[in-house]
Structures are given as structure tokens and as C-alpha cells.
């Protein structure tokens, strides 16, 4: 099973100007490499058989004949291979010469795609030799002993994907041919290019390729000429990119005198899922649908298994290391503050009330409240932090809760829930030594009642602290910590909560709060509803009960964001967490995730308001609408079959 991945390659061979025999030998060498590594499709630079910089030699019939012989050689060479090859070649058609991409496989030409836009400015003067596709039209051409369609309106279909081809300058057009190809169904666009170098151009091109793949919700594979092209007036540095919906999967080092082969796997299943949910893409496709698109079928056999060379991020919610990390964290934190500020102003409340446990979620919520009050130029004394020690509260979390509230300068209240819960157990006839779900949930509901009533006392707003991961798993007490008047963490997953608290400690917090925040980050995650052990340490650790949050956040991201099958998520998790979790552990917690996700939807169906900070949220008013009684059987069957 290939799980929707298509392995592609962008090749930059060494060339000799106007020497098709040498050039074809280099192309064949790279085809062997790509084929041996499981590539399904490989693309070479523009006019790769002849080289791009032949100038007026394109008028020489000798060069054109040698190019055709070179293409015949390639067809024979690939006769026993499944790999689809895309090479550049000049082709005589309709009395003119066309700059074409030849698509071939297993000794057969699948089609010829001519270049639509010919640059004729600055160092480029292609119209001196070539005719643009719009002038020549389309039709069959006799080449290499075969009649083959020459048309810019072509798609090529394999069992794994549908792809289209454009050539160099086509990408720079206001409406590139790739736009039409993608709207007609191309999952991947291949671009044969001869991109010259100048200072600053590389960054522009890299952005252009990434943006085009994002705009088209497609894969984009770009291969440009390198060492060996003429340097009479310009230099070709050998650029090669593989992009997927705006994400750069792989790229070649520039200015190498060696041949280069860049490979990666494009997730076509992901791209198709993205297009299905993107109503703007579908509306555009309906608007630009044409009847004259030709589709050529390949004979490629889909791979049974695939080995990924691309990186699978084990922490998809956490901003990547690098210069953008601080900006991303600041954006997330600011969105939370903006949402809360609007709610405070709209309700005209005087205070905000939240429970402070000394854990990650309440810490992040408190930090958001503090920053929001600063922005509104309100005294932090209007933030009412209530610590509510219970039967499972440990000295570590209690001390951190008190210390952080003191350091942030908010109003502190301490209200023990022990006596109230014991009275409640007596009222309902529950044995307090029986530490079951009633014992645990009674404490969570008592705390929520205190917060709600305290807010009424002080014209306040209860700020919820629960996070996205807890909502996904249903790890919240219904009408307990599940409820608030505004939930600032509702779309922030646990792995991101931990990271944001650490980031705040290192970038925003002063010396007095930094140590407290970092100790909170290192504290085991727990609801602390069960008494501590004999040494006073946390006994009830959430991740021992429901599984590691880093796994659950990974599962959640790929299920909700991409709509993947359990079997594909299992495969991706094994790749992302290789050496960290066994196959049995991943399967166990994946099964737990699906079981809990489906069973606990009723809690998500009545969530309080809260800001969306990222690409995933489970609000019933926003990203996720699911019946509370939806059946999980199909997903569970797939998990059990792993």
C-alpha cells in the first residue's frame, strides 16, 4: 500500500551544448537512479536532450535529427521500466519549431506538451526559434515512428495520480497553464525549466513555486538547467524543487558542478482531501471547466509499499525552530488575548475568574488573562485566581499555583473543596473511599460551581482552561471543567500548550516567573482527583490512563485536518515516532483515540465560545459538526485490522 503517496524526482543532469548523445546518456543514468529508488515520475529540465542554450543551432536539421534519435534511445532504454519520464526536446510541428516536453514510459510516447509562453525580453529571445502553443494549435505529430498528440491541453493519468506539465516561463504568466490543469484534475504539476541566475532571483523563484502549489492545492515539481549550459551571457545554477500545497519537501543545492537528483513523496490523498473541503477551489473548477482536455493513460503499476524519505513532523501543532517561531507563538498568544478582550468589553464585566491548579492549562489561561488586562489598561487585581485544593492536590502544584498568582500580581482566593465534596458524598450516599468516576467528577463539578458563583459575586466572567486535546478525548467532566463562560484554550492542543508556556517563560516572563513556569512545564499532567502517593507525589497521571498527548495530538491533526484513514495515520505515526513507540503502543493508543473521540462528541456539541488559533478546532459552530451519536464501527474495524 502506498497510502496515497507518489514518489517523484526532479533531475538536473550535466549537459553539453548541442550534444544529444552525451545528454541522453546523462539522462539515462539519472533515470536508473530514480527508478531504483522507487520513483514513479521523473522530470528533467527544459530542452534537456539538446541543452537549452543552443541558440541558432536550433535551426540546424542535424541537431533536430540527433534530438529525435536521442528520444528514440530513451524510449528503448525505458521499455522495461514503469517510471514515467518527462524530458525537453525541440519538435517540428505545423511548419514551425515547438519547445516541448515529451512524456514517455515503457517505450511509448504518452504525449507532447508545447510551451505556451515564450519569453522575449532581456536575455531571452525564444520567439527567434520557437512558436508558442497558442499560435500552433494542437494535433498529432509523427515522431520516433509514433503518432502522438501535441497539445497544451493534456493531462496524464497513472494509477496513483493525475499530472500536468508546463514549461519554465509558463509559471511566470499571470494565469499559468498549471492553473487550468489543476482545475481540470491535475494533482501534480511538473515544470521543465531553464531558469537563469541573477542576484535575488532564487528567493523569488522559490516563493513563486511554493505559492503556485499552494494556490492550486497541488504538488509542484520543478527542474531547471545546471552545469554544462553555455555561460556566454548567463549562468544556470541547477534549481530543483518539490513542493506540496505550499510546503517545500525537497530542493537541490545550487551551483553544483555535479548532477543532482532530488526526490520526495507527494501525498496525493492529502491534496484531494484538501480540494474536497475547499469550496473556493471547487467553484473555480466549475467556472473554468473545458471540454477539450485530453487525458493520456500510463501503464504504471502502483507500488505495493512505499518507503518515505520526506520528514513526517511528530509535533504538527508546534511551531518549527527558526526565525518564524517567535512570531508564530506571539500570533497564537495574541489571538487568545484578542478574543478574551472583545468578550470582556462586550459583556462589560469587571473581573475574570478562573481556577488555578498549578498545571499547564490553567497557567496558559492565566497568562492570557494577565496580558489581556494589560492591553485593556485594567488592573491585574481584577483577575480572580481561585485555587481549590482537593483530595489529590499535591504540594508541588499547590505551591506553583500560589507562587505564579503572586508573581503576576492578581487577586488570590483559596477555597478548599474537601468539606463540600464530603457533604455531597453524604447527600448522594457515596462512599468517599470508593475512588470511582463519581468521586472524581464530583470534585470537578464542585470546582466549576465555585467559579460560576464567585463570578456572579464579582460581576465576573469565568474563563475556561480546558484545551483541544482534552476535548478530542473527552477528558473533561461534563458540566464540570467542561464548562465556562469563555474558553481561551479551546483550540490549543496540549503539545502546543506546553510549548507556549515554555515560550512565555523564556521570552515574555521575567526572572521571578521563569522558574515557576518551567517547573509547571515539567510537572506530570494530572487532574489530581485521586489522593497522592505515600511520598506526596502525583499518583493519577493522565498520559498513563489515556495515552501520550504527543501521539493523540498527532492522530487528531491528521484525522481532522486531512481526513486520513486510521491505517494511514498509523503508518505516518510509525514513521514520525520511530524508535520512540513500538508498533503495539501506537496501535493501542490510536484505537483509544478513535474510541474516545466518537464516544465523547456530546461534550463538544455544547462547548462555550472560544477563539480559533490554528488550522483545527472542534467547535460545533465552526470547524467540526458531528452528530453525538455517530457510529465509530468503520474506524474501529480498521484499527483492529492493523
For 188, the enclosing helix (H) or strand (E) is: strand 188-193
| Average pLDDT, integer, range 165-194 | 96
Same domain, 333 and 249: no
| Average pLDDT, integer, range 10-36 | 96
- For a pLDDT cut of 70, what percent of the chain falls above it? 97
Same domain, 518 and 571: yes
Answer whether residue 303 is part of any domain. no
Quick: pLDDT tens for 415-429.
Answer: 999 999 999 999 999
pLDDT at 333 over 80: yes
Same domain, 273 and 405: no
pLDDT at 531 over 70: yes
Instruction: Indicate which residue of 54, 144, 168, 349 is catalytic.
Output: 168
Residue pair 432/439 in contact (Cβ under 8 Å)? The answer is yes
- DSSP type of residue 402: H
The pLDDT, as a whole number, for residue 201 is 85
Answer whether residue 607 is part of any domain. yes
Same domain, 67 and 160: yes
Which residues 6+ apart lie within 8 Å of 353 measured at CB? 384, 386, 451, 454, 455, 458, 460, 461, 462, 463
- Render 507-534 in DSSP notation, one character per residue: HT--HHHHHHHHHHHTSPP----S---T
pLDDT at 124 over 90: no
List beta partners, residue 250. Answer: 242
What are the grid coordinates assigned to 630, written together? 455517530
Answer whether residue 312 is part of any domain. no
In whole angstroms, what is the distance from residue 205 CA to residue 250 CA?
A: 15
pLDDT at 323 over 80: no
pLDDT at 474 over 70: yes
The CATH number of the domain holding residue 188 is: 3.60.110.10
Among residues 42, 33, 32, the alpha carbon closest in space to that of 10 is found at: 42
Range(s) of the domain holding residue 457: 325-640
List beta partners, residue 148. Answer: 141
| DSSP three-state, residue 182 | helix
In whole angstroms, what is the distance from residue 411 CA to residue 380 CA?
A: 8
The pLDDT, as a whole number, for residue 538 is 65
Same domain, 292 and 364: no
Among residues 379, 390, 388, the alpha carbon closest in space to that of 352 is found at: 379
| Average pLDDT, integer, range 140-159 | 94
Average pLDDT, the chain: 93
pLDDT at 326 over 70: yes
- DSSP type of residue 137: -
Among residues 70, 248, 29, the alpha carbon closest in space to that of 239 is found at: 248
Residue pair 540/529 in contact (Cβ under 8 Å)? The answer is yes
Answer whether residue 308 is part of any domain. no
pLDDT at 19 over 80: yes
The pLDDT, as a whole number, for residue 374 is 96
- For a pLDDT cut of 90, what percent of the chain falls above it? 80
In whole angstroms, what is the distance from residue 373 CA to residue 97 CA?
A: 70
Residue keyed to cell 516567573: 513
Residue keyed to cell 505495493: 304
What are the grid coordinates assigned to 529, written together? 482527583
pLDDT at 291 over 70: no
Answer whether residue 352 is part of any domain. yes
Residue keyed to cell 472524581: 440
- DSSP type of residue 459: T
pLDDT at 304 over 80: no
In whole angstroms, what is the distance from residue 29 CA to residue 67 CA?
A: 17
Pick the last residue of a domain from 279, 296, 313. Answer: 296
Pick the last residue of a domain from 257, 275, 296. Answer: 296
The pLDDT, as a whole number, for residue 325 is 79
Among residues 596, 582, 598, 600, the alpha carbon closest in space to that of 642 is found at: 582
What are the grid coordinates assigned to 18, written together? 548541442
| Confidence (pTM) | 0.90
What are the grid coordinates assigned to 309, written together? 524519505
Same domain, 262 and 356: no
Same domain, 470 and 554: yes
Answer whether residue 311 is part of any domain. no
- DSSP type of residue 320: P
- Greatest C-alpha distance within the chain: 101
The CATH number of the domain holding residue 578 is: 3.40.50.620
Considering only residues 235 and 604, tell me which one the structure prediction assigns the higher pLDDT.
604
Quick: pLDDT tens for 584-629.
Answer: 999 999 999 999 999 999 999 999 999 999 989 999 998 899 999 9
Integer angstrom CA distances of residue 93 from 45, 129, 140, 153 = 21, 13, 9, 16
Look at 50-54, 216-220, 446-450 and tell me which has the smallest mean pLDDT.
50-54
Rounded (5°) CA angle 342-348-354: 75
The pLDDT, as a whole number, for residue 121 is 81
pLDDT at 494 over 80: yes
The pLDDT, as a whole number, for residue 120 is 85
In whole angstroms, what is the distance from residue 576 CA to residue 556 CA?
A: 14
Residue pair 225/12 in contact (Cβ under 8 Å)? The answer is yes
Look at 315-319, 488-492, 507-511 and tell me which has the smallest mean pLDDT.
507-511
Count of the separate structural domains present in the chain: 2
The pLDDT, as a whole number, for residue 300 is 63
How deeply is 631 buried, as exposed, middle or buried, from its count of CB atoms within 10 A (0-12, 13-18, 19+)? exposed
Q: What are phi and psi of 602, to 5 degrees?
A: -60, -30
What are the grid coordinates assigned to 247, written together? 510546503
Answer whether residue 277 is part of any domain. yes
Same domain, 175 and 284: yes
In whole angstroms, what is the distance from residue 592 CA to residue 41 CA?
A: 38
Answer whether residue 318 is part of any domain. no
What is the bridge-based pairing of β-strands 460-464 and 351-355? parallel
Pick the last residue of a domain from 245, 278, 296. Answer: 296
Among residues 162, 239, 259, 157, the alpha carbon closest in space to that of 197 is found at: 239
Instruction: Indicate which residue of 40, 54, 115, 152 is catalytic.
Output: 115
Radius of gyration (C-alpha) of the chain in whole angstroms: 31
Considering only residues 627 and 196, tell me which one the structure prediction assigns the higher pLDDT.
627
Among residues 277, 289, 222, the alpha carbon closest in space to that of 251 is found at: 222
| DSSP three-state, residue 7 | strand
Same domain, 268 and 407: no
The pLDDT, as a whole number, for residue 529 is 63
Same domain, 265 and 375: no
In whole angstroms, what is the distance from residue 6 CA to residue 191 CA?
A: 17
Rounded (5°) CA angle 23-134-280: 100
pLDDT at 96 over 80: yes
In whole angstroms, what is the distance from residue 626 CA to residue 601 CA?
A: 7
Instruction: Indicate which residue of 46, 229, 259, 440 is catalytic.
Output: 46
What are the grid coordinates assigned to 231, written together? 555561460
pLDDT at 125 over 90: no
Taking the alpha carbons of 369, 373, 378, 380 in that order, is the dihedral positive or negative? positive
Considering only residues 293 and 184, tell me which one the structure prediction assigns the higher pLDDT.
184
In whole angstroms, what is the distance from residue 465 CA to residue 582 CA?
A: 32
Residue pair 397/360 in contact (Cβ under 8 Å)? The answer is no
Quick: pLDDT tens for 420-461.
Answer: 999 999 999 999 999 999 999 999 999 999 999 999 999 999
Confidence of residue 528 (pLDDT cuts 50, 70, 90): low
- Render 43-76 in DSSP notation, one character per residue: E--TTTTT-S--GGGGG-HHHHHHHHHHHHHHHH
Is 46 labeled as catalytic in the residue annotation?
yes
Is 541 labeled as catalytic in the residue annotation?
no
Integer angstrom CA distances of residue 474 from 14, 595, 596, 608 = 58, 10, 7, 15
Considering only residues 545 and 549, tell me which one the structure prediction assigns the higher pLDDT.
549
List the 351-355 sheet strands across, edge first.
Answer: 411-414, 383-387, 351-355, 460-464, 486-487
What are the grid coordinates assigned to 210, written together? 511554493
Same domain, 276 and 354: no
| Average pLDDT, integer, range 203-214 | 95
Same domain, 218 and 356: no
Amino acid at each position: 500500500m502506498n497510502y496515497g503517496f507518489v514518489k517523484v524526482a526532479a533531475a538536473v543532469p550535466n549537459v553539453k551544448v548541442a550534444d544529444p548523445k552525451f545528454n541522453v546518456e546523462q539522462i539515462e543514468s539519472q533515470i536508473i537512479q530514480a527508478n531504483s529508488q522507487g520513483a514513479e515520475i521523473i522530470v528533467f529540465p527544459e530542452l534537456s536532450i539538446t541543452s537549452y542554450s543552443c541558440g541558432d543551432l536550433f535551426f540546424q536539421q542535424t541537431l533536430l535529427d540527433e534530438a529525435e534519435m536521442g528520444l528514440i534511445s530513451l524510449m528503448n532504454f525505458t521499455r522495461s521500466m514503469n517510471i514515467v519520464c518527462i524530458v525537453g526536446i525541440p519538435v517540428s510541428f505545423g511548419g514551425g519549431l515547438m519547445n516541448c516536453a515529451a512524456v514517455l514510459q515503457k517505450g511509448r510516447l504518452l504525449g507532447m506538451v508545447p510551451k505556451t509562453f515564450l519569453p522575449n525580453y532581456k536575455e531571452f529571445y525564444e520567439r527567434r526559434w520557437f512558436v508558442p502553443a497558442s499560435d500552433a494549435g494542437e494535433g498529432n505529430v509523427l515522431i520516433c515512428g509514433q503518432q502522438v498528440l501535441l497539445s497544451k491541453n493534456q493531462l496524464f493519468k497513472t494509477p496513483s495520480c493525475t499530472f500536468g506539465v508546463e514549461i519554465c516561463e509558463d509559471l511566470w504568466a499571470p494565469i499559468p497553464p498549471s492553473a487550468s490543469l489543476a482545475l481540470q484534475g491535475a494533482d501534480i504539476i511538473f515544470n521543465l525549466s531553464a531558469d537563469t541566475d541573477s542576484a535575488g532571483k532564487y528567493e523569488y523563484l522559490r516563493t513563486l513555486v511554493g505559492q503556485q502549489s499552494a494556490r492550486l492545492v497541488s504538488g509542484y515539481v520543478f527542474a531547471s538547467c545546471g552545469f554544462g549550459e553555455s555561460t556566454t551571457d548567463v549562468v544556470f545554477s541547477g534549481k530543483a524543487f518539490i513542493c506540496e500545497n505550499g510546503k517545500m519537501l525537497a530542493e537541490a543545492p545550487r551551483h553544483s558542478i555535479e548532477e543532482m537528483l532530488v526526490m520526495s513523496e507527494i501525498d496525493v490523498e492529502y491534496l484531494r482531501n484538501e480540494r474536497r473541503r475547499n469550496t473556493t477551489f471547487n467553484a473555480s473548477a466549475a467556472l473554468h471547466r473545458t471540454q477539450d482536455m485530453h487525458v493520456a493513460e500510463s501503464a504504471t503499476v502502483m507500488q505495493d509499499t512505499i518507503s518515505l524519505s520526506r520528514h513526517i513532523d511528530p509535533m504538527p501543532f508546534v511551531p518549527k525552530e527558526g526565525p518564524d517561531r517567535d512570531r508564530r507563538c506571539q500570533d497564537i498568544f495574541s489571538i487568545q488575548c484578542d478574543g478574551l478582550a472583545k468578550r470582556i468589553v462586550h459583556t462589560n464585566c469587571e473581573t475574570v475568574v478562573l481556577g488555578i491548579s498549578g498545571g499547564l492549562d490553567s497557567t496558559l489561561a492565566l497568562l492570557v488573562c494577565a496580558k489581556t488586562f494589560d492591553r485593556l489598561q485594567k488592573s491585574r487585581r481584577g483577575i480572580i485566581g481561585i485555587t481549590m485544593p482537593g483530595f489529590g492536590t499535591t504540594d508541588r502544584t499547590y505551591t506553583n499555583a500560589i507562587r505564579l498568582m503572586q508573581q503576576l500580581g492578581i487577586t488570590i482566593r483559596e477555597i478548599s473543596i474537601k468539606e463540600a465534596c464530603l457533604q455531597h458524598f453524604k447527600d448522594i450516599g457515596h462512599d468517599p473511599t470508593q475512588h470511582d468516576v463519581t468521586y472524581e467528577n464530583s470534585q470537578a463539578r464542585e470546582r466549576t460551581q465555585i467559579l460560576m458563583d464567585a463570578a456572579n459575586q464579582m460581576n465576573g466572567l469565568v474563563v475556561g482552561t480546558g484545551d483541544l486535546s482534552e476535548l478530542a478525548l473527552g477528558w473533561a467532566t461534563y458540566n464540570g471543567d467542561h464548562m465556562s463562560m469563555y474558553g481561551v484554550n479551546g483550540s490549543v492542543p496540549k503539545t502546543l500548550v506546553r510549548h507556549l508556556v515554555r515560550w512565555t517563560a523564556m521570552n515574555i516572563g521575567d526572572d521571578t516567573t521563569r522558574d515557576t513556569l518551567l517547573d509547571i512545564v515539567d510537572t506530570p499532567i494530572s487532574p489530581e482527583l485521586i489522593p497522592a502517593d505515600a511520598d506526596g507525589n502525583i499518583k493519577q497521571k493522565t498520559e498513563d490512563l489515556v495515552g501520550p498527548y504527543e501521539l493523540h495530538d498527532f492522530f487528531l491533526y491528521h484525522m481532522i485536518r486531512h481526513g486520513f484513514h486510521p491505517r494511514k495515520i498509523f503508518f505516518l505515526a510509525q514513521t514520525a515516532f520511530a524508535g520512540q513507540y513500538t508498533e503495539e503502543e501506537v496501535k493501542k493508543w490510536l484505537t483509544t483515540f478513535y474510541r474516545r473521540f466518537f464516544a465523547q462528541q456530546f461534550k463538544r456539541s455544547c462547548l462555550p465560545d472560544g477563539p480559533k488559533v490554528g488550522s483545527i478546532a472542534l467547535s460545533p459552530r465552526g470547524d467540526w459538526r458531528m452528530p453525538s451519536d455517530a457510529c465509530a464501527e468503520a474506524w474501529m474495524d480498521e484499527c483492529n485490522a492493523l
